[in-house]
Amino acid sequence: MRKSVLSTVLAAVLVLAMAGPASASPHAPTLHLKGKTSAIYGFDGSVEGTGPVLPAANVVAEVKNCPQGDWMLDATLVQDGVSYSWATTALGAGYGECGVDEAPFTVAMGFYGTALHSGRATAHFAIYHYVCSEGICSPEATTTMEDTRVVRIP
């Protein structure tokens, strides 16, 4: 009797171990930050292109199994305790849309600031499902996918 109970428990443990957590589903949305940014480049954030040129770098992530619908990217880069602004002048920056059976794709955001330099920084990307109702759009309260990683700026 004892052997049959142990073998039943062992079989159940093996089945659960092989199944893994629900979040490990091959269809779960995932976002994975790359460990290295672009090389530092000059960015002029002024509307007319006449402002100072400041150091900037692009952070890249790969998105898989993006759920269908609209989404917004929340992206941060912190280096030496300083948080950097997005290096973009585009309206609608950080907005995206996924269709049915969307193939994996990359999403990137540039960051700039006077003190940005080669070395390590912490990047965080979070994608929120964006809901529009009666002309008012806002992100859902929970993230759809996110990743935080120490990246290297060459």
Give me the domains of the chain, ranges plus CATH numbers: 26-153 (2.60.40)
Query: What's residue 9's pLDDT?
Result: 35
In the three-class reduction of DSSP (H, G, I as helix; E, B as strand; rest coil), residue 44 is classed as coil
- Give Cβ neighbours of residue 57 (< 8 Å, ≥ 6 apart): 37, 38, 39, 40, 41, 77, 110, 111, 112, 116, 153
pLDDT along the chain (154 residues), means of 10: 40 38 63 96 90 96 88 94 91 79 89 97 91 74 86 98
* pTM score of the predicted model: 0.76
Contacts 24+ apart (CB under 8 A), 137-145: 137/70, 139/72, 139/74, 144/29, 144/67, 144/71, 145/29, 145/30, 145/31, 145/63
What single DSSP character describes residue 67? Answer: P
CA-nearest of 25, 70, 31, 77 to 55 is: 77
Pair 58, 34: CB distance under 8 Å: no
- Short-list 63, 93, 89, 91, CA closest to 75: 93
Q: Which residues partner with 46 through β-bridges? A: none
pLDDT score recorded for residue 26: 61
Contact 40, 56 (CB under 8 A): yes
Q: How many angstroms separate the CA atoms of 144 and 66, rounded?
A: 9
